[in-house]
Amino acid sequence: MMYRIFVWGVNFKTAPLEQRELLACNREDAYYLLPPLKTVEGIKELILLSTCNRVEVYGVAQDYDSINRLVSELLHLKGADARLKKSSFFLEGERAVAHVFKVASGLESMVVGETQIVNQFKEAYRIARELGCVGKVLNRLYEKALRTAKRVRTETGISKNAVSVSYVAVELAKRIFGSLAHIKVLLVGAGEMAELSAKYLKKLQAHLFITNRTYERAVELSKELEGHVLRFEELEDHLRDFDIVIVSTGSKQYLINHSMVNKAIRKRNYKPMFFIDISVPRNIEPSVGSIDEVFLYNIDDLQEVADKNLKERLREKERGEIIVWDEVSKFMKWMELLKVEGVIVKLKNQWKDVEEREPRVRRLVHMLVEEIRKEPSLAEKLVKIFLQEVENANTGRRLPYVYNRAHGA
């Protein structure tokens, strides 16, 4: 019996956050949920993927009733209302395979082309494998999904352009300074986007310093980011020491003005300074950007770059989808072949003794197996032609090609 490959779930396209939260699963939840779900009658293989934007089940099932039982059990175990089904989606066959490949490639992400999903996909598979929930089909699906993701990343430019404001800020800093290793960065305030930019910079080995009107908050954030603290009242005196200054506070006035930066840049002998003002209203006086060797970006500047980059990614997405469907066709051909594996094994066993005695029959069996592998959908027709060929061979008739016969040539 051949089973159905399917996808069921909710994601940011089908369900609002408050509904996705009802099904959200952390690592411990996955270990709790998968064993009972795997025992649902008719479910053969299973992977559970849960991220901030999606909760999806990738599986192999005997029939639709099995899938319905699985969904009902998942909702029951999560304590979710059955009405949640109205916000879910279901795919099977090649559309399910294409969806999995797109998810792994970042083509289905809220931020198209983001790469974090690959690690989340790997972790979901690892847990499912550890719990004995995957077999021949999902093992192959996983391998091909990763291959597709790699092709999309290397053959398109979908991941090259930053599309979040925080990341754009870091990319712009890299253009100005090249390597950011050992660059000194000052984080003024503790806004979420500024903090995220600081985390990106930290990964690139920049030296972080934090200042805040509330000293205790600066200390708390410095521990989290493994940085250093600068007292807020010392900001003007030490401004010259920093290559990059990221500002995000709730202040309604300028914290850094033209005069402060002018003094700082002269004391630095006009070594470049990069200012990122993610505050609304702005905390850096706009005229600062007119000072030689000073680069100033506000949130609108960054958003403009991010929007432009997103358009570039969406163009690259089309190229990525061509790659996905190329890989889907290969996977579905393998699935077709899986259907006739039993036919091939049975055929080889039935004709084993005759093959040893009759070289002509051995050639026909070899030809038949090769043609079935090329075109699994023609297996039944090819077997009938094979039996006729054997009969012809035994009566001394000329042997036409099995493949051509199958196609009506």
- Over its C-alpha atoms, the chain yields an Rg (Å, rounded) of 30
Q: Which of 16, 17, 52, 300 is catalytic?
A: 52
10 Å CB burial of residue 407 (0-12, 13-18, 19+) is: exposed
Bridge partner list, 112: none
Is residue 52 part of the annotated active site? The answer reads yes
**Residues in Cβ contact with 74 at an 8 Å cutoff, skipping those fewer than 6 apart:** 23, 33, 37, 57
3-state SS, one letter per residue, for the chain: CCCEEEEEEEECCCCCHHHHHHHCCCHHHHHHHHHHHHCCCCEEEEEEEEECCEEEEEEEECCHHHHHHHHHHHHHHHCCCHHHHHHCEEEEHHHHHHHHHHHHHCCCCCCCCCCHHHHHHHHHHHHHHHCCCCCHHHHHHHHHHHHHHHHHHHHCCCCCCCCCHHHHHHHHHHHHHCCCCCCEEEEEECCHHHHHHHHHHHHCCCEEEEECCCHHHHHHHHHHHCCEECCHHHHHHHHHHCCEEEEECCCCCCCECHHHHHHHHHHCCCCCEEEEECCCCCCECHHHHHCCCEEEEEHHHHHHHHHHHHHHHHHHHHHHHHHHHHHHHHHHHHHHHHHHHHHHHHHHHHCHHHHHHCHHHHHHHHHHHHHHHHCHHHHHHHHHHHHHHHHHHHCCCCCCCHHHHHCCC
Length of the chain: 409
Q: 178: how many CB neighbours lie within 10 A of its CB?
A: 9
Distances (CA, A) of 299 to 44, 161, 343, 363: 50, 17, 64, 72
**Active centre residues (catalytic):** 52
